Amino acid sequence: MTKLSVNINKIATLRNSRGGDVPNVLKTAAAIEGFGAQGITVHPRPDERHITYQDVRDLAPAVTTEFNIEGNPIPQFIDLVLENKPTQVTLVPDAEDAITSNAGWDTVKHKDFLVEVIQEFKQNNIRTSIFIDPNPKMIEAAQYTGADRIELYTEAYAENYANGNKDGILPYVECAKIAKEVGLGLNAGHDLSLQNIQFFKENIPALAEVSIGHALIAESLYEGLETVIKKYLSLLK
């Protein structure tokens, strides 16, 4: 089984568009968990344009499933994670002005930095995952960072799949094989959807977790959160 962690950034985006507290992120997270999702993901960004640092503090004691905090490990992010002790931290090398995540780590170039940061999280019993492009060289080098898992950046897969190119899965299959050989657990995320998740899962059965936000929330506008989450859960069995 692959766990589904729902990224609720978009709920906060909607709330922030009006100010106030509608929709309420805690209530939505509880509903998502009630519908069977096995985790809640948030990705606070320095400008707090969607999930705020205070949301993370409010969610930490309220989430009853796996809590995953994603982000660039700048000092205030590291402090936030250590203060809130999620199940997992996913390190993403976001530029400050990035609209969304658009690249994985260079695990060769940034090895020493990653080793240092990951060690601190692991000392605090927080599972660590690093966001990586489907590049075998980067997966091989990831084993020396001390990370527990990698999260494969799936934007290229999603784009290829949407264009009818199913061979876009091949680098992911190869990277999943390397991850297994070097003892890294495997997560995946970015632009996964009800359209493309089944083919991904069929080809990468060892997938531990997917984090899905943008498409899942958009699909829920048509079909409702409960129906959509149950569809994902059935495809991820």
Ligand X SMILES: CC(=O)[C@@H](O)[C@H](O)COP(=O)(O)O
Q: Which residue sits closest to ligand X, CB atoms considered?
A: 100
Candidates 33, 66, 70, 219: give the one binding ligand LD2JLWAY (CB under 6 A). Answer: 70
C-beta closer to ligand X: residue 176 or 210: 210
Q: Which two tokens stand for residue 221?
A: 């506008």
Nearest CA-CA partner of 90 in 104, 71, 112: 71
Please give the DSSP secondary-structure letter assigned to residue 35: T
Site for ligand LD2JLWAY contains 150 (CB under 6 A): no
Residues 200-219 that bind ligand LD2JLWAY (CB under 6 A): 211-215
Q: Is 190 among the residues known to form the active site?
A: yes
Which class for 64: exposed (0-12), middle (13-18), buried (19 or more C-beta within 10 A)?
exposed
Q: Binding partner of residue 215 among ligand X, ligand LD2JLWAY, none, CB under 5 to 8 Å per kind? A: ligand LD2JLWAY
> What is the rounded distance in angstroms from the CA atom of residue 103 to the CA atom of residue 43?
15
Q: Which two tokens stand for residue 128?
A: 């660590």
Q: Which amino acid is at 43?
A: H
> What is the rounded distance in angstroms from the CA atom of residue 119 to the CA atom of residue 176?
24
Q: Binding partner of residue 176 among ligand X, ligand LD2JLWAY, none, CB under 5 to 8 Å per kind? A: none
C-beta closer to ligand X: residue 123 or 175: 175
- Residue showing tokens 């899965």: 169
Does residue 105 contact residue 141 with C-beta atoms inside 8 Å?
A: no
* DSSP symbols for 172-212: HHHHHHHHHHTT-EEEEESS--TTTHHHHHHH-TT--EEEE
Q: Is 110 annotated as a binding residue?
A: no
CB of 127 to ligand LD2JLWAY, least distance (A): 14
Q: Is 7 annotated as a binding residue?
A: yes
Task: Find the largest Cα–Cα distance for the chain.
Answer: 49
C-beta closer to ligand LD2JLWAY: residue 51 or 114: 51
Site for ligand LD2JLWAY contains 7 (CB under 6 A): yes
Q: Which residue sits closest to ligand LD2JLWAY, CB atoms considered?
A: 189
Q: Which amino acid is at 113?
A: F
Tell me which of 33, 66, 151, 190 is the catalytic residue.
190
| Binding site per annotation, positions for 1-deoxy-D-xylulose 5-phosphate | 45, 50, 100
Binding positions for ligand LD2JLWAY, rule: CB under 6 A: 7, 41, 43, 70, 151, 189-192, 211-215
- Residues of the binding site: 7, 18, 45, 50, 100, 191, 213-214
Active site residues: 43, 70, 190
